[in-house]
Structures are given as C-alpha cells and as structure tokens.
Structure 1
Amino acid sequence: MDKETWELVNQLRDWLDEQSPVSGDLAKAMRVLKIGEEFGEVAEALHGAMKANPRKGASHTWEDVHKELCDVAITSLIALASLTPDAQKLFGERLQHIADRSLT
C-alpha cells in the first residue's frame, strides 16, 4: 500500500479518537469488534447478490458486495493502526510473509 493510503487510515483513526465517546483499550476493542459488524454487512450483501434468501430475492448487487468488502478492509486497517504505531510496517511484513509462503 502506498504512503497516501496509510496517511488516510491514520487521519481516520485520529478522527475516531477525537469523536469517540470511549477511549483507551475500550476504543481499541470496539474497533476490532467493528470488523465483525462490517463482515456481517458483506455477508448480507453476498446473500442478496446471489439471491440466496428466497424471502428477499435480489436485495443487493455485486457492487454492494465490493463496497462492503472495502469497508471490511478499511475497518481492519484502522483497527490495526489503533493498536500499534507500526501498522504500516507490520501489515507490509505480514503481506510479504503470506506472499512468500503462498507464491513459492
């Protein structure tokens, strides 16, 4: 990921720090839990795009799935940036580790 992406992630983290009614470890825990909420939304969108719920039919589009997946990724990066000042470095190292393990 480029530097600008991480700058935006950090700006969003800082904004959340300023706006959140909770702080410290509770704020960190809430940001990690938010990933679960976003995952639920992508799961709902996927069900809707695949018409998997006969009661609801085609309630979502594949574009909705794409947007919700982005929300999961963004929420995860913000949570990581909330937990450690080395988020960019740790993410890059972990991505490289997985690539090295998988692509060799």
Structure 2
Amino acid sequence: MDETSRAAVAAAVRWLNQHHGNGPQQQTMRILKVTEEAGEAARAWIGVTGQNPRKGVTHTPREVADELADVALSALVAIESLGFDPAQVLSACAAKVLDRLPR
C-alpha cells in the first residue's frame, strides 16, 4: 500500500468511527460495503459487455477498474476496522498467493 492509500483508509475509518462508532454492528456494515461495491463492479462489467439488451453498452473498462478499486479500498477499511493493519494483511495474503503459484 502506498502512503495515499494508507492515509485514505485511516481517514475513512476515523470518519466512520466518529459518526457510527466501531462496534460489531458497524464492523458488519463495513464488511457488507465490500459486497455492495463488488455489485457495482459487476454492474459496470455488464455495462461494458452490453449484456442487458435494453441498456446496451453503458460503461468503459476504466469505469470497471475504478469500481474494483472501490472494492479494494472498502476491503482495506473493513480490515482496519477489525483492528488489523491493512498493509500487513494485504502483504501476507499476497505472499500466500505467491507461495501457491508455480515459479
């Protein structure tokens, strides 16, 4: 994670905590936010492919990438809200994936 991402995650968690606290219900809502954002990414991809004949092509691949970034940032906010360092959790996950891939 770069410094901009780290700062954005920390600022979002502070802001959410100030408005809603950080109890189990709020942690749940932050985890569910990841799913909401994933749905937006899926909707954008459907829009790229023109899968809905009524709507046609409505999105660009860049818009899909932006929505996927929202998914990632929401996940990092949820991780920090659970009391973990998002950069460390992300790095450990990446290392696990590298270990599973053929060299």
So what's the TM-score if we normalise by structure 2? 0.88
Q: Figure out how many residues of one structure are paired with residues of the other and give that number.
A: 103
Q: What's 1:58 paired with?
A: 57
Task: Work out the CA distance in 1 between the residues paired with 2:22 and 2:79.
Answer: 15
Q: Cα distance, 1:98 vs. partner?
A: 1.0
Query: 2 CA distance for matches of 1:48 and 1:37?
Result: 17
Q: Aligned partners of 1:35, 1:88: CA distance in 2, in Å? A: 17
Q: Report the alpha carbon displacement of residue 4 of structure 1 after superposing the two structures with TM.
A: 4.2
Please state how far the C-alpha of 1:7 moved relative to its aligned partner: 2.8
User: Is residue 2:94 matched to residue 1:95?
Assistant: yes
**Cα deviation code 1:4-55 (max 9, x no counterpart):** 42232112111111123x6400000000001111111011000011101111
Q: Which runs of 5+ in 2 are unaligned?
A: none
The normalised TM-score by structure 1 is 0.87
* Deviating more after overlay: 94-103 vs 1-10: 1-10
Matched, 1:49 2:48: yes
Mapped partners of 1:64, 1:27: distance in 2: 28
Larger mean Cα displacement after TM superposition, 37-46 or 80-89: 80-89
Report the RMSD for the aligned CA atoms in angstroms.
1.6
Question: Contact (CA 8 Å) 2:45, 2:64: kept in 1 or not?
Answer: yes
Question: CA shift at 1:103, angstroms?
Answer: 4.4
